[in-house]
């Protein structure tokens, strides 16, 4: 039976009370966003003694139904937006899908529900001994456990609030916990409780960032108007109705919009117009909680340079931008208009604060060649690679998820033995194989490509796509065979490549050009028609991934 059927039974006074009580438990089995026991404990704790009190039984059902209704409304909105974005060729990110379907309470009681669950799981965690893990992995796992435990303890002690420093640490630690399944194998389940607490805290305290769409216009207008209402120095030449129309007709048609959500509500937004940060607004009730910082940091990830204008009277905004790396380019000057003085211009460039100082964009450890959350594993993997006679040669850049990586064009390290590679974790082995697909010897590249060519891991895709533009046709043929799963739109491989191509159109365009050039120089005899060349077939297939009708 469905959730609705059990809910009706709970409210049916003609049924025996014991059956109504059991029906509530069955309803929780259908909808348990925190897991059965945590969901049951929360709704009954809010309601009272439901075993004997009918009013308490109905209150518990009301709490559960309110959360379920909020989740259904959110997923309906998500489905509408997903349909629109698929029609325009832009896929919903894997990160957002995990957010929509992960451990999270929906609705007005979100903070209380997730905090209570974390507190109870924390009590269990502190009374459970550290799991029995392989000695080689124990130091890293102890460090991870300690770092996450410190954040959980602070969250519990501060009544559901994070220390500002923990807002920056938590996403990286959560990514490490999610990667344990690949690194640790069967023993990863011993850390599921720790991961669940970290996810709940992240959902309760950290804003979730996503691309905005036309359906967000009304909520963004509410944030903009409420934030503007706090300023006394900004002129208001337009009415609220005119401002709402401007947001719908201008902002969403000409600018790239990003929104920040917390507990399913839009609490802030930022807009980009090429390399200009046009707006960054946070709702008054969400200010001083790291929302503005999260939005700005994400804008700095998606653009290598940002310009903005800010009123010198807005001293809080000036301090905020200067604290996050923006430098003054042009003073406001004096227009003689005291009511509407000109704005100062600020600029931020990634080159002003390079992640890697070398001119090539690389560093000796090659941590820049993978997302930042894999830095420790990259360092371990890099340590087993024999010393090279030459440094890595040049690099190319790619967007991987929310990060930018710099991948070497060529490396010159001799190969480590298979036995040496096998001593690494599965994740670290995959990193080694990725790096050796950039080796100067084509035979080495082909051997290591065989391991990663069909991997759906987003950080492996830059290595594979670069080889599609190779002059060695055997390598390109191997990739075509490994990517046969791209024909299935529901496969993990398809979804990973679809997101990667959407984020890296220039890289695909360059690969397509390289493939055509190598065909023209080396392979015309074997493939008289360009359309029959494996590199051309692959780039053409990848280009169709973001076309909603799959047209070619």
pLDDT over threshold 70, residue 550? no
Average the pLDDT over 361-376 and give the result: 81
The pLDDT value recorded for residue 311 is 86
Q: What are the backbone dihedrals phi and psi of residue 236, each rounded to the nearest 5 degrees, phi first?
A: -125, 80
Rounded-to-integer distance, Cα 28 and Cα 403, Å: 39
> How many of the other CB atoms lie within 10 Å of CB of 483?
19
Rg from Cα positions in the chain: 27
pLDDT over threshold 60, residue 14? yes
Average the pLDDT over 153-179 and give the result: 86
pTM of the shown model: 0.63
The pLDDT value recorded for residue 546 is 62
Average the pLDDT over 471-496 and give the result: 89
Average the pLDDT over 135-154 and give the result: 86
Residue with tokens 């014991």: 18
The pLDDT value recorded for residue 186 is 59
The pLDDT value recorded for residue 357 is 44
Average the pLDDT over 485-502 and give the result: 87
Q: What is the pLDDT of residues 168-203, one digit of tens each?
A: 888 888 888 887 776 666 567 778 899 999 999 999
CB-based burial of residue 537 (10 Å sphere; 0-12 exposed, 13-18 middle, 19+ buried)?
Answer: middle
Q: Within the chain, what is the greatest distance between any pair of CA atoms?
A: 85
Q: What are the backbone dihedrals phi and psi of residue 309, each rounded to the nearest 5 degrees, phi first?
A: -120, 140
Average the pLDDT over 420-425 and give the result: 92
3-state helix/strand/coil string of 343-394: CEEEEEEHHHCCCCCCCCCCCCCCHHHCCHHHHHHHHHHHHCCCCCCCCCEE
Question: Please, which pLDDT band fits residue 354 given cuts at 50, 70 and 90?
Answer: very low
Average the pLDDT over 157-178 and give the result: 85
CA dihedral 530, 532, 536, 542 (to 10 degrees): 150
- What is the C-alpha end-to-end distance of the chain, expressed in Å? 45
Q: What is the pLDDT of residues 519-534, one digit of tens each?
A: 888 888 899 999 999 9
Q: What are the backbone dihedrals phi and psi of residue 22, each rounded to the nearest 5 degrees, phi first?
A: -65, -35
CB-based burial of residue 456 (10 Å sphere; 0-12 exposed, 13-18 middle, 19+ buried)?
Answer: middle
Question: Please, which pLDDT band fits residue 335 given cuts at 50, 70 and 90?
Answer: very low
Rounded-to-integer distance, Cα 429 and Cα 420, Å: 10
Question: Please, which pLDDT band fits residue 428 given cuts at 50, 70 and 90?
Answer: very high
Residue with tokens 């059927």: 5
CB-based burial of residue 542 (10 Å sphere; 0-12 exposed, 13-18 middle, 19+ buried)?
Answer: buried
pLDDT over threshold 90, residue 280? yes
The pLDDT value recorded for residue 486 is 84
pLDDT over threshold 90, residue 536? yes
Contact status, residue 390 vs residue 420, Cβ threshold 8 Å? no
Q: Which stretch of 120-134, 165-179, 210-224 has the lowest confidence by average pLDDT?
A: 165-179
pLDDT over threshold 80, residue 49? yes
Which helix or strand (DSSP H or E) is residue 174 part of? helix 164-178
Secondary-structure breakdown of the chain: helix, strand, coil percentages, each rounded to the nearest 5: 60, 10, 30
Report the mean per-residue pLDDT for the chain. 86
Q: What is the pLDDT of residues 73-94, one digit of tens each?
A: 988 988 888 888 777 767 666 6
User: In DSSP terms, which residues pair with 259 in a beta bridge?
Assistant: 210, 269
The pLDDT value recorded for residue 168 is 80
Contact status, residue 299 vs residue 308, Cβ threshold 8 Å? no
Rounded-to-integer distance, Cα 326 and Cα 281, Å: 17
Average the pLDDT over 461-479 and give the result: 93
Rounded-to-integer distance, Cα 130 and Cα 187, Å: 12
- The CA-based angle 476-479-482, given to 5 degrees, is 155
Residue with tokens 């800010």: 310
Share of residues in the chain with pLDDT > 90 (%):
48
């Amino acid at each position: 039976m469905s959730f609705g059927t059990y809910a009706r039974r709970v409210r049916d006074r003609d049924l025996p009370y014991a059956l109504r009580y059991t029906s509530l438990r069955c309803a929780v089995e259908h909808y348990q966003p925190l897991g059965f026991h945590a969901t049951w404990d929360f709704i009954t704790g809010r309601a009272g003694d439901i075993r004997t009190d009918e009013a308490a039984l109905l209150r518990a059902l009301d709490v559960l139904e309110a959360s379920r209704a909020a989740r259904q409304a959110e997923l309906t909105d998500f489905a509408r937006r997903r349909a629109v974005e698929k029609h325009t060729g832009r896929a919903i990110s894997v990160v957002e899908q995990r957010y929509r379907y992960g451990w999270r309470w929906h609705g007005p009681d979100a903070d209380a529900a997730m905090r209570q669950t974390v507190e109870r799981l924390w009590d269990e965690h502190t009374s459970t001994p550290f799991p029995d893990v392989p000695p080689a992995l124990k130091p890293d796992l102890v460090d991870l456990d300690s770092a996450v435990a410190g954040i959980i303890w602070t969250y519990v002690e501060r009544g559901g609030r994070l220390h500002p420093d923990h807002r920056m640490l938590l996403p990286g630690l959560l990514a490490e916990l999610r990667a344990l399944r690949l690194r640790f194998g069967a023993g990863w389940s011993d850390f599921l409780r720790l991961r669940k607490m970290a996810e709940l805290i992240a959902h309760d305290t950290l804003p979730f960032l996503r691309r905005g769409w036309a359906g967000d216009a009304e909520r963004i207008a509410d944030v903009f108007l409420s934030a503007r209402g706090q300023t006394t120095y900004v002129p208001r030449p337009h009415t609220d109705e005119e401002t709402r129309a401007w947001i719908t007709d201008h902002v969403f048609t000409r600018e790239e919009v990003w929104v920040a959500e917390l507990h399913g509500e839009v609490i802030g937004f930022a807009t980009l117009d090429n390399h200009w940060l046009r707006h960054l607004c946070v709702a008054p009730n969400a200010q001083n909680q790291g929302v503005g910082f999260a939005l700005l940091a994400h804008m700095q990830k998606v653009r290598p340079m940002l310009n903005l204008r800010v009123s010198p009277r807005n001293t809080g905004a000036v301090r905020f931008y200067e604290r996050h790396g923006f430098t003054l380019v042009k003073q406001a000057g004096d227009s003689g208009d005291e009511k509407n003085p000109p704005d100062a211009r600020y600029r931020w460039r990634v080159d002003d604060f390079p992640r890697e100082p070398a001119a090539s964009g690389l560093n000796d450890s090659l941590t820049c060649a993978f997302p930042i959350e894999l830095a420790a594993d990259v360092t371990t993997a890099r340590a087993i690679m024999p010393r090279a006679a030459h440094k890595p040669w040049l690099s190319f850049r790619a967007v991987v998820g929310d990060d930018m990586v710099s991948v070497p064009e060529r490396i010159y390290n001799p190969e480590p033995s298979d036995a040496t590679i096998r001593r690494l974790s599965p994740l670290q082995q995959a990193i080694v194989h990725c790096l050796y697909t950039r080796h100067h010897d084509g035979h080495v590249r082909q051997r290591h490509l065989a391991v990663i060519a069909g991997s759906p891991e987003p950080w492996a895709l830059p290595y594979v796509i670069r080889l599609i533009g190779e002059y060695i046709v055997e390598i390109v043929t191997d990739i075509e065979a490994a990517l046969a799963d791209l024909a299935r739109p529901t496969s993990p491989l398809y979804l990973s490549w679809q997101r990667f191509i959407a984020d890296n159109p220039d890289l695909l365009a360059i690969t397509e050009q390289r493939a055509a050039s190598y065909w023209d120089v080396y392979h015309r005899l074997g493939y008289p028609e360009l359309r029959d060349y494996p590199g051309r077939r692959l780039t053409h297939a990848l280009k169709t991934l973001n076309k909603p009708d799959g047209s070619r």
